[in-house]
A and B are shown apart, each in its own frame.
Chain A
Amino acid sequence: MDLLDLVFSANFVAATIRIATPLLFGVLGALLCERAGVLNLGIEGIFVAGAFVGWMAVYAGAGPWGGVVAALAIGAVFGAIHAGLTVWLALSQHVSGLAITLFATSAAYFAYRTALPDVSSPPRVTPFQPMEFFETVPLVGPVLAQQTPMTLLAFLLAGLIAYALSRTPVGLAVRAVGDSAAAVEAQGLPVRPLRTGAVVAGSMLMALGGAFLTISAFDAFYFGMVNGRGWICIALVVFASWRPGRAVAGALLFGAFDAFQVRLQTQAGVALPGEVFLMLPYLLSILALILVARRADYPRALLKPYFRNDR
């Protein structure tokens, strides 16, 4: 097949969107946290925890939506821990985030081994099914029909967050608290609850990104399945200039590239080792960071702790 035909095929677009979905959850989550002034390097671990807990819930019979709820809950828990350490105790956001990642990852792996001590491969669950009823819709039907409701949810959430940030009082407060805690405080708004809310909400989205892997894209939990997707999201949020619209574009661009390289690999795979292609997402993320580094407009209060009644 010609590469050009391939790029414009429905399957290619569908794959792009599928690859982009977990990243979109993650980028939106990181964006919410950072817009409020908190870097959340717990993202990688929260992905793992969301993937595991969501899958376990479905395995326990809660159904796919039950898995979503379970993932949201575990995301909220880790978000609350990160907010507690960084927003309330003013500890290093870098180190706290890494601690969350180490903790959430090892806790998920430990829980997996403890819950299923005797399995050699993880039991499969019934994941979200593609929304085939979209098949008959003209133009976008063939693409949409291959997606699951979680993908739809991701894009709806992107719209919702974009609207909330730009058009609602709470969105205004979040944008302000990521720029200047003093400005928010001076207007009588509570700085720490605002940041906590954003971090918890953002972490819930991150957990959904993980859950998408186990209960939508695949049907089981594997070690190492998150594989740096969280870190890629941290790079993408810089690339997206902390804007939801650009986050969607960034995730899709990334998804398209990944889908493209997978197809390229199947065509030209013999000439180059497979690992070269597997490296591309990471190298691409680094490249994205380099491209925007000069004009990256970090939220001014990012990484800055807020002290009350202090000097």
Chain B
Amino acid sequence: MSFVSAGGDDAPTVLALEGVTKRFGALTANDGIDLTLRRGEVLALLGENGAGKTTLMNVLFGKYTAEGGRVLVERDGALEPLEPGSPAAALGAGIAMVHQHFTLAENLSGLDNILLGTRSLWKFGWGGARRAARTRLQGIIEASGLAVPLDVRVDRLSVGERQRIEILKSLYREARVLVLDEPTALLTPQDADRLFGTLKKLTATGLSVILISHKLREVFSATDRIVVLRHGRKVGETATAAADATSLAEMMVGSAVPKTVHSARTPGEPVVVLDGVSVSAEHGTALDRVDLKVHAGEIVGVAGVSGNGQGALAALLSGLAVPAGGTAQILGKQVERVDPGGLSTAGVARIPEDRHQDGVVGTMTVAENLALENLKTPSVSSRGVLRLSAMTSQARKTIAESDIRCQGPQSTVRLMSGGNIQKLILARTLGRKPRFVLANQPTRGLDLGAAADVARRLDEAATQHRAGVLLISEDLDELLAVADRIVVLHEGRLSEAGPAAAADRNAIGLMMSGQAAA
């Protein structure tokens, strides 16, 4: 889906970054980065997680103040420096950013979110501003195709609708530069295509877009030029038309891209049997009469856009929720009460979606976090008293075996990278030779190397230890590479399982958006 954009090599420069350097303590997140953006072009900022893409854009937007370098914005034909550290100045200069985690007040309507900060705080009322704004927004919506209800509280809107509100916020402020941070992370392939269609319309009118991404596929289909970042440095720049995937990927990673393994194996007895299971959810979508079998020695992938019931499914299989209807069996035992500890002891390894929030206690040590699920085992405690030296030596062993990069068993987890925290969680859960593994978005936010490592450990668990693995992921490529069978979750309903080898990307994409019979 490539398209010709309004911007060309001769289009005027609207934005320039010169030698931007941003440090966080000892870490240099951005190291002397130069960047230019022309009118009407879509520039891809490509790089792995942690390469410094988002930091750079936060400097541009004034959320962070850089230690070195400057940002220049075109004004009346000349480039002028932008006041650093001021989101208000960035907005005033026509720079708008749609963050990966939306910056919307959920207790307000879409209209209120758009109007927030557009009128002096000391005006006692809106006068006719609200009506005028609504009229203008209707015009913008018609021109861009960003249809969305304006008077509904944001917490009742879908992810796609929230993203449209975010983009409308930018357009309403007459943004000339729109930064999109991983905009497709939560979209179906079809919604992502629709977003890129909108961008095409907008760039034709002179908008310039910076698209932050680590997905080569969308970078190739939707951008004009590509800048690659690695470890905070700019390592490459190329016109999209002249780029090739392999060299880009190597530029991102700095070495050959690790291959995902998929060993041959045959499934055995079922370890998880869901029969017409419904689960109500505190937040998000409930599970609705779901049937599923996971056998020993196989990896079943659950595809789907986040928020379609993954939370409820994971809660059920983590022991944090019980079925509201139907029957659920895990390792031959009926799920009747909330008992995460019981499941863990019975041989279920659970890898939580949010590893920082649910997986570790950040202020506790590596040794303590490794013991978190195994408090009652003899290697951790006897008669209610902790065996500190045993915990420490066990931790030292695990750190070496799993290659966890840290200062030792007594260092706090808070300071570790996401990849190392995930290694710790994998060591804690998979180290106990589980018979069923629930892995919920286990590679989200990890760089390619760390992600490949996670995939390898899951493969190992299924192949060598004959565990049944349920892998919930937003990344269809990952599922296709790792899983034996794939099911699709949409609005709480689960499709029939199909073999991954025969899966068709487009068909799965349609099922993810509910457009095909599940």
Contacts and interface: CB of A to CB of B under 8 A. Distances in A.
Given A169-B126, A175-B108, A300-B107, A183 B64 contact: no
Given A168-B126, A172-B116, A182 B101 contact: yes
Given A176-B116, A180-B103, A188 B108 contact: no
A182 B104 CA distance: 8
A189 interface: yes
B344 interface: no
A182, A183, A308, A311 — most chain B CB neighbours (10 Å): A183
A168 B103 contact: no
A29 to B, nearest CB: 20
B105, B122, B169 — most chain A CB neighbours (10 Å): B105
A187 B91 contact: yes
A190 B86 CA distance: 9
A119 B107 CA distance: 53
A167 interface: yes
Interface string A156-190: 00000000000111101101101110111111111
A311 B55 CA distance: 10
B107 A169 contact: no
Given A172-B116, A184-B117, A167 B125 contact: yes
Given A176-B108, A184-B116, A299-B107, A309 B87 contact: no
B115 interface: yes
B339 interface: no
B2 to A, nearest CB: 31
Nearest to A176: B105
Nearest to B27: A311
Contact of A188 (B65, B87, B120): B87
Interface in B82-96: 85-88, 90-92
Contacts of B118: 187
A170 B103 CA distance: 18
B121 A183 contact: no
A308 B64 CA distance: 8
Nearest to B117: A187
Interface string B108-151: 10001101111111111110000000000000000000000000
Given A172-B115, A309-B64, A309-B65, A183 B104 contact: yes
A179 B106 contact: yes
B108 A179 contact: yes
Contacts of B123: 168-169
Contact of B119 (A169, A176, A178, A299): A169
B309 to A, nearest CB: 23
B65 A179 contact: no
Contacts of A173: 116-117, 121
A167 B124 CA distance: 8
A188 B105 contact: no
A22 B91 CA distance: 43
A183 B118 CA distance: 13
Interface string B339-357: 0000000000000000000
A2 B391 CA distance: 73
Given A169-B123, A169-B126, A189 B107 contact: no
Interface string A44-68: 0000000000000000000000000
Interface string A98-124: 000000000000000000000000000
A92 to B, nearest CB: 15
Contacts of B88: 188-190
A169, A180, A182, A309 — most chain B CB neighbours (10 Å): A169
A251 B24 CA distance: 49
B103 A183 contact: yes
Contacts of A308: 63
Contacts of B113: 176, 183, 187
Contact of A179 (B24, B63, B105): B105
Interface in B65-90: 65, 85-88, 90
Interface string B357-393: 0000000000000000000000000000000000000
A301 to B, nearest CB: 9
Contacts of A175: 105, 107-108
B201 interface: no
B361 to A, nearest CB: 19
Given A173-B117, A186-B87, A188-B88, A167 B126 contact: yes
Contact of B112 (A172, A178, A180, A309): A172
Contacts of B65: 309
B457 interface: no
A168 B124 contact: yes
Given A167-B126, A168-B125, A183 B87 contact: no
B97 interface: yes
Contact of B63 (A185, A189, A300): A185
Given A169-B119, A179-B105, A179-B108, A188 B91 contact: yes
Nearest to B122: A170
Interface in A130-176: 167-170, 172-173, 175-176
Contacts of B105: 175-176, 179-180, 183-184
A185, A187, A189, A299 — most chain B CB neighbours (10 Å): A187
A298 to B, nearest CB: 11
A179 B118 CA distance: 18
A300 B99 CA distance: 19
A188 B117 CA distance: 7
Interface in B30-79: 63-65
A179 B63 CA distance: 19
Interface string B201-232: 00000000000000000000000000000000
A175 B29 CA distance: 34
A2 B155 CA distance: 50
A187 B169 contact: yes
Contacts of B120: 169
Nearest to B98: A186
A308 B85 CA distance: 10
A168, A172, A173 — most chain B CB neighbours (10 Å): A172
A311 B169 contact: no
Contacts of B103: 180, 182-183, 185-187
A176 B112 CA distance: 9
A309 B25 CA distance: 12
A226 B277 CA distance: 55
Nearest to A309: B64
Nearest to A242: B107
Contacts of B99: 182, 186
A187 B116 contact: yes
Given A189-B116, A308-B63, 6 more contacts: A169-B119, A173-B117, A175-B105, A183-B116, A187-B91, A188-B117
Interface of B: 24, 63-65, 85-88, 90-92, 97, 99, 101, 103-108, 112-113, 115-126, 169
By Cβ-Cβ distance, the 7 closest A-B pairs, closest first, are A187-B117, A188-B88, A186-B103, A176-B105, A179-B105, A170-B121, A188-B91
20 contacts: A167-B126, A169-B120, A169-B121, A169-B123, A170-B121, A172-B115, A176-B113, A179-B105, A180-B103, A180-B106, A183-B116, A184-B117, A186-B87, A186-B97, A187-B91, A187-B117, A188-B86, A188-B91, A188-B92, A188-B117
